[in-house]
Amino acid sequence: MTVPVILFSLVGLGLFYFQNLLLFPQVRLRLVGLFLFYVGLRPSFSLAFSLAVVLGILQDSFATTPFGLHLGAALLLVGMARFCRRRLLLQKIGPLIIASLAALTLQEMGVMLILMLLGLRPLALSDLASLRSLEILATAALAPLMATLVIGLENFLSRHGWHTSRSMPQE
Amino acid sequence: MRPRFRFRASLIITATLLLIISLLSLSLKRSPILEKVEGMVVSLTAPGLHGLRYVGRSLSGVWEGYFYLVGVQKENAALRQRLQEYEQKELRYQEAQHTLARLESLLSLKKQVALPVTGARVIAYDPSLWSRCALLDQGEDHGVKRGQPVLSAGGIVGRILEVYPHYSKVMLIVDRNSGADAMVQRTRVRGILQGKGANRCSLGYVPKSADVKAGDLVLASGLGGVFPKGQVFGKISGANKKTPGVFQEIEVTPVVDLSALEEVVVVKVVNLAATP
């Protein structure tokens, strides 16, 4: 399990670098979040959990929000992915996009709730709501690319003898 | 199997919730362990960003200076060679001119501030919209300390929030947790400048009777000892007196484009109030 965690973490770090170098601070697509969601949909829970911890801590370290906020948001995404995996039949790309859209929206709302509970002033819902919605929509539209990336990584690992899950075969 | 699975799932959810709550409460108490973890992660990952940014700049230099001229090369090899040289010189000259202009303005700022300062480059931005900060390439080893103000040629950028050995994190004035004593230049009316996220601030606690209008400059009052007195925060972009309560709602737009910062200066004094 160590090699898959390291490889997936490096890809997550790559996405983080890509966003920081090319998109931030003007555009904030949730590429890392989407990546986590798709890893969460795959059979291995331990891989998704470990990846959420690594990427959550990475994002927390670069932000001024209380440490643990991004970690919680990342684990929330994995939780939602596991729920979708068990309850919904996510085989086609349409339902996948809708599921990731719902997960990213719920994550955003969850974070706002945590910030409010912590007594930190969250942005008003009206504030930038359209921009945020657009960003979430654009992120969800990248679902096919992200699904291909995650499956490609799994195939790469299995070709070299490493499996992300021992209990279940590749989907 | 089913009850066992349910038990396992509940256990994982409970443990995760406990972990997150503990981390959040430790973070709110500014736990040194968490700060060390943060510092370690930044120290491990920021050099990659730093390096990639450098490679990106070099590649874009190569792209602009060479590949862009491929069409001209086909027309006349010798002429193209000379043209390419001149183009590259021109680009370098223009870049040098831009850098000179930026550094000159930073130098004049340094003289204007009349306090010990150090230059720094912005190498990364905050990964989320939930806060607004930037990572600088100057840290504890360069004498940067928590609480020091960060300025750019246009005005105030923010203040140092976290310091790591080679890097530091600056909380921008538009961060929702940022607050500073400020005054309107024209009428000397004072208020509290608070970040509103995105690229805006608000000037709070200004009575409705106060004379404030769009276009007025908002400066640091010097009270609180964080930002040097007279440095510019931003311009008033709107004042609304038709609000409930005794205070008016004033929106301030920073004069500095906080989304396109390159070089900044860190004032190496933590408490300006204590400085003679």
For residue A23, give the DSSP letter: I
Give the distance between the most distant pair of CA atoms in chain B. Answer: 81
Cβ contact A28–B128 (<8 Å):
yes
Q: How far apart are CA B83 and CA A51, in angstroms?
A: 51
Nearest chain A alpha carbon to B17: A72
Q: How far apart are CA A127 and CA B238, in angstroms?
A: 16
Average of per-residue pLDDT values in chain B: 82
Cβ contact A24–B45 (<8 Å):
no
- Angstroms from A169 CA to nearest CA on chain B: 20
Quote the pLDDT of residue B4.
Answer: 62
Quote the pLDDT of residue A134.
Answer: 84
For residue B210, count other CB atoms closer than 10 A to its CB: 18
* pLDDT over 70 (residue A39): yes
- A120 CB neighbours in chain B (<8 A) are 176-177
Is residue A104 within 8 A of residue A139, CB to CB? The reply is yes
pLDDT digits (tens, 9 = 90+) for A91-140: 677 888 888 888 888 888 888 888 888 777 655 555 556 777 888 888 88
Do you know the residue count of chain B?
Answer: 276
* pLDDT over 60 (residue A168): no
Task: Indicate the Cα dihedral angle B67, B71, B74, B75, nearest 10°.
Answer: -140
* pLDDT over 70 (residue B242): yes
Flag the least confident range among A37-51, A68-82, A105-119, B83-97: B83-97
Q: How far apart are CA B89 and CA B160, in angstroms?
A: 38
* pLDDT over 60 (residue A1): yes
Quote the pLDDT of residue B93.
Answer: 79
Do you know the residue count of chain A?
Answer: 171
Cβ contact B128–A79 (<8 Å):
no
Quote the pLDDT of residue B76.
Answer: 62
Quote the pLDDT of residue A51.
Answer: 92
Quote the pLDDT of residue B101.
Answer: 79
Q: State the DSSP H helix or E strand holding residue A151, giving kind and residue range, or none if neither.
A: helix A143-159
Quote the pLDDT of residue B206.
Answer: 92
Q: How far apart are CA B177 and CA B160, in angstroms?
A: 13
Q: B228 preceded by cis ω (within 30°)? A: no
Size of interface A-B (CB pairs under 8 A): 120
Q: Does residue A28 sit in helix, strand or coil?
A: coil
Cβ contact B27–A28 (<8 Å):
no
Is residue B179 within 8 A of residue B173, CB to CB? The reply is no
For residue A126, give the DSSP letter: T
Mean predicted confidence (pLDDT) in A76-83: 89
Q: How far apart are CA B162 and CA B132, in angstroms?
A: 13
Cβ contact B259–A25 (<8 Å):
yes
Helices (H) and strands (E) in chain A, counts: 7, 0
Quote the pLDDT of residue B5.
Answer: 62
**What predicted TM-score, i.e. pTM, was given to this entire model?**
0.67
Q: How far apart are CA A155 and CA A162, in angstroms?
A: 9
Q: Does residue A64 sit in helix, strand or coil?
A: coil
pLDDT digits (tens, 9 = 90+) for B75-89: 667 776 677 677 777
Quote the pLDDT of residue A167.
Answer: 44
Flag the least confident range among A43-47, B2-6, B168-172, B258-262: B2-6
Quote the pLDDT of residue A52.
Answer: 93
pLDDT digits (tens, 9 = 90+) for B188-230: 899 999 998 778 899 999 998 898 989 999 999 888 778 888 8
- B132/A contact by beta carbon, under 8 A: yes
* Distance from the Cα of residue A156 to its chain's centroid: 20
Q: How far apart are CA B226 and CA B172, in angstroms?
A: 13
* Residue B111 buriedness (CB in 10 A; 0-12 / 13-18 / 19+): exposed
Nearest CB neighbour to B23, from listed A59, A67, A111: A67
Helices A2-18 and B32-65, axial angle in degrees (round to 10): 60
Band of pLDDT at residue B160, cut at 50, 70 and 90: very high
Q: What is the DSSP string of chain B?
A: -HHHHHHHHHHHHHHHHHHHHHHHHHHHTT-HHHHHHHHHHHHHHHHHHHHHHHHHHHHHHHHHHTGGGHHHHHH-HHHHHHHHHHHHHHHHHHHHHHHHHHHHHHHHHHHHHTS-EEEEEEEEE-SSSSS-EEEES--GGGT--TT-EEE-SSSEEEEEEEE-SS-EEEEETTSTT-EEEEEETTT--EEEEEE-STT-EEEES-BTTS---TT-EEEE-STTSSS-TT-EEEEEEEEE--SSSSB-EEEEEESS-TTS--EEEEES-S-GGG--
Pairing of strands B149-151, B133-136: unpaired
Nearest chain A alpha carbon to B21: A68
* C-alpha pair distances (Å), B109 with each of B102, B121, B233, B265: 10, 16, 14, 9
Structure tokens at B189: 């009316």
- Angstroms from B20 CA to nearest CA on chain A: 6
- Angstroms from B201 CA to nearest CA on chain A: 12
Most confident stretch, A38-47, A91-100, A154-163:
A38-47
Give bridge partners of residue B190 from the DSSP assignment.
Answer: B183
Q: How far apart are CA A56 and CA A114, in angstroms?
A: 15
For residue B180, count other CB atoms closer than 10 A to its CB: 22
Radius of gyration of chain B from its Cα atoms, rounded to whole angstroms:
24
Residues of A with CB under 8 A from a CB of B: 13, 16-17, 19-21, 24-26, 28, 32, 49, 57-72, 75, 79, 111, 114-115, 118, 120-123, 127-128, 132
In single-letter form, the type of residue at position B33 comes to I
Higher confidence at residue B276 or residue B4? B4
* pLDDT over 60 (residue B180): yes
Cβ contact A13–B48 (<8 Å):
yes
- B87/A contact by beta carbon, under 8 A: no
